Amino acid sequence: MALCLGLILLIASCATSDNMQFHDALNAGDLPQVKAWLAKGMEADKPFPSSNTPLKIAAEIEHEEMIKYLLRKGANIDAQDRAGQTALYIASALGRELSVYTLIDAGADVEIPNNNGLTPLMNASGDGSEGIVRALLDAHADVNYTNNRGQTALNQAFNRATSMTLNDHVDDNGESTQRFSISLPYTDGVARILLEAGADTNGFSQAVFAKQVREGRSYIEPIEFLQMRLEFAAETDEGFGRFKIFPN
């Protein structure tokens, strides 16, 4: 009995060791070793204890040939980890453009959201990844997909980049006034792309726009602010990095 138990533990230990070495080969981008492990019986579609799949790892390290090889060996292109993330989702989130292009070309579903209701397009929009946003839209990602929190890709394009501060300002006549400075450093190009693709601005809500910026002062409506940003960028050729708004 003890001998059988010891043998079982030994087999389990060897299997764990093999699994770790296969995982290490994937992380290292060592395609010959990955092929060797698959030839020994490792599965291209079996998730690791972390719920990461071999394909997801290949997408993370942006290894085009490994992605294609794993797909040929039966990897499920749309497999989700325990967070609901597909290989395409994680590639979009990390800005791995080559992985995104490769997965889209192979037929990845561009609409699968993670457990928080975020699609690859929404995540890429929040990160300001213009190339990935264009690729996803070209693959017919829904620019107006709305998750269970009422968020769209356009919301995400502003969520992570918006900050507002109230600063003292002395004009040319020496008079002191206050200005609201709204900084949107990352997502200018993405906002343009989404709007050109037909992003819906009706009912666009964003906490920073939907509240009064100061007690007793009116706020700028979201769509008006979007238009002002676009006009400012066109006139100054400086983008939207810093935009001054004068309170009433």
As to burial, measured by CB atoms within 10 angstroms (0-12 exposed, 13-18 middle, 19+ buried), residue 163 is exposed
Whole-number pLDDT of residue 159 = 64
For 40-196, list the strands marked E by DSSP. Answer: 163-170, 176-183
Residue 19 has pLDDT above 90, yes or no: no
13 contacts: CB under 8 Å, gap ≥ 6: none
Domain annotation for the chain: domains and CATH numbers = 15-109 (1.25.40.20), 157-245 (no CATH)
- Considering the chain, what percentage of its residues have pLDDT values greater than 70? 62
Per-residue pLDDT band at 173 (split at 50, 70, 90): low
Would you state the pLDDT for residue 69? 97
3 or 213, which is more confident? 3
> Tell me, what amino acid is at 48?
F
**pLDDT digits over 55-69, tens only?**
999 999 999 999 999
Phi, psi of 132 (to 5 degrees): -70, -40
Phi and psi for 218 in degrees, rounded to 5?
A: -80, 160
State the pTM of this model.
Answer: 0.71
Tens of pLDDT, residue by residue over 28-37, are 999 999 999 9
pLDDT value, residue 114: 94
Among 34-38, 49-53, 122-126, the range with the most confident prediction by mean pLDDT is 34-38
Output the pLDDT for position 127. 83
Let me know: does 228 contact 220? Beta carbons within 8 Å.
yes
Cβ-based burial of 159 (10 A; exposed 0-12, middle 13-18, buried ≥19)? middle
208 or 232, which is more confident: 232
Region of poorest pLDDT, from 2-16, 73-87, 88-102, 208-222: 208-222
